[in-house]
Amino acid sequence: MSEDEKEQTYELKSKFWMNLPPVLMDTYLDLVRSLADMDTRASYLITFGDALSMTLPKAVEEYPEYAALAKEWPLPYHDPLRKIDHRQYRAWQKLFEKIMRKAGIVGGINTGTDDEEVYYDFTEDES
């Protein structure tokens, strides 16, 4: 049995489920509040990135947008209390928003494709 088959078998047999939405929401609110307070410590970005990663179909580091920003402005995992430049902090926050939209976590219904956007009209039918 290959490693992929073993991993897939484990996934099918796992009975464990984690209630991640409250964790993701709490860490996102910390991220937003810290920026509003101009408390731009890296720990908020790191913690939210870790929480977000658990809710995505693949690790957050595997998204090309994440890799590109990490190359330009790497997060200081070795010093999580270090303050991040406001512009860089906002860039990381917007990156997380983009990844959440791509995964269908925020922003409406996920169409499942990167280049297709479908808009749904939820207004009252006037007929």
pLDDT (0 to 100) of residue 23? 92
pLDDT (0 to 100) of residue 107? 83
Residue ranges of the chain whose pLDDT lies below 50: 116-123, 125-127
Instruction: Look at the alpha carbons of 18, 98, 96, 73 in this order and tell me if their dihedral is positive or negative.
Output: positive
Query: Nearest Cα to 21, choosing from 102, 77, 100?
Result: 100
pLDDT (0 to 100) of residue 18? 78
Parse the chain into domains and list their residue ranges.
Answer: 19-103
pLDDT (0 to 100) of residue 11? 58
Query: Are 80 and 46 in contact, with CB atoms under 8 Å apart?
Result: yes
pLDDT (0 to 100) of residue 118? 47
pLDDT (0 to 100) of residue 104? 87
pLDDT (0 to 100) of residue 122? 43
Rounded Cα distance, 120 and 108, in Å: 9
Instruction: Look at the alpha carbons of 103, 105, 110, 114 in this order and tell me if their dihedral is positive or negative.
Output: negative
pLDDT (0 to 100) of residue 91? 96
Helices first, then strands: H and E counts in the chain: 5, 0
